[in-house]
Amino acid sequence: MKNYIIAAIVAVAAIFSFMVLGNAYKYKYKTNETISVTGLAEKNFVSDLIVWSGHYNRLTRDLKTAYTQLKEDENKIRTYLKGKGVQDAEMVFSAVSIDKQFNTRYNSEGREIGSDFVGYKLSQSVTVESKDIDKVEKISREVTELIESGIEFNSSAPSYYYTKLSELKIDLLAKASADAKQRAATIAENSGSGLGRIRKATMGVFQITGQNSDEDYSYGGAFNTSSRNKTASITIKIDYAVK
């Protein structure tokens, strides 16, 4: 009888040991499991800063004359912009660049045989930076009025920027993290597990593209400056432990 009792105790102990080992293995297995998800956040916004520039030049054989003419053009352009509502602090004129211009001479066989001095080409540019986007957009479209006044003015397309990118990026990161957590929780729930702590989080690429455009995303991050209305997006990859 005593032997039977001892055998029963040993059997119960063995079963208990197997249960403990099994649960321990199961716990270790689960703690090593991870759920990897990628969260995404997007937001449309409107640029709050415009930068527009144009350049002009004069070409004459006499350097002093060319410089005088260019300075006259600068004064006319400054007066024109101020008349359109641009403040002095919003416009910057560059330094004058000087290039000697030559015409190359060729013989009847097409070989270069020399060159003739044409004159000095003096160039200068003006850049307008303002938060009044409508005003500067209008000026960039109507700048042909300067050409009509005798100034060889070449206008560039405006560029658009946003001065609160840091705040926008933080907001998007928070939303992308929440999106990742929701995705991970759904996966864990449907697999009969629970969601543990974050093991690793890696921020993806921050992109700014034009709204309603077919602009391609870039591996290094697109940064659109040609559109006034933009879309910012960010991704974040998070690894969660399973419990």
pLDDT per position as a tens digit, 73-101? 999 999 999 999 999 999 999 999 999 99
49-60 and 112-130 as β-strands: parallel, antiparallel, unpaired? antiparallel
- Tell me the pTM: 0.78
Render each residue's pLDDT in the chain as its tens digit; 243 residues: 544 555 445 444 444 444 444 454 444 444 568 999 999 999 999 999 999 999 999 999 999 999 999 999 999 999 999 999 999 999 999 999 999 999 999 988 888 888 999 999 999 999 999 999 999 999 999 988 888 888 999 999 999 999 999 999 999 999 999 999 999 999 999 988 899 999 999 999 899 999 987 777 666 678 999 999 999 999 999 999 998
Q: Say what the pLDDT of residue 27 is.
A: 46
Q: Is 136 helix (H, G, I), strand (E, B) or coil?
A: helix
What Cα–Cα distance (Å) separates residue 239 from each residue in 20, 100, 149, 192? 29, 63, 65, 18
Q: Say what the pLDDT of residue 213 is.
A: 78
207 within 8 A of 43, measured Cβ to Cβ:
no
- Residues contacting residue 18 through CB under 8 Å, at least 6 positions apart: none
Q: Say what the pLDDT of residue 218 is.
A: 66
pLDDT per position as a tens digit, 143-157? 888 888 889 999 999
pLDDT per position as a tens digit, 154-178? 999 999 999 999 999 999 999 999 9
Convert 212-226 to b/e letters by CB count within 10 Å (16 or more is b): eeebeeeeeebebee
CATH number of 51-158: 3.30.70.2970
Report domain 34-46+164-242's class.
Answer: alpha beta
Q: Say what the pLDDT of residue 11 is.
A: 46
Q: Say what the pLDDT of residue 212 is.
A: 80
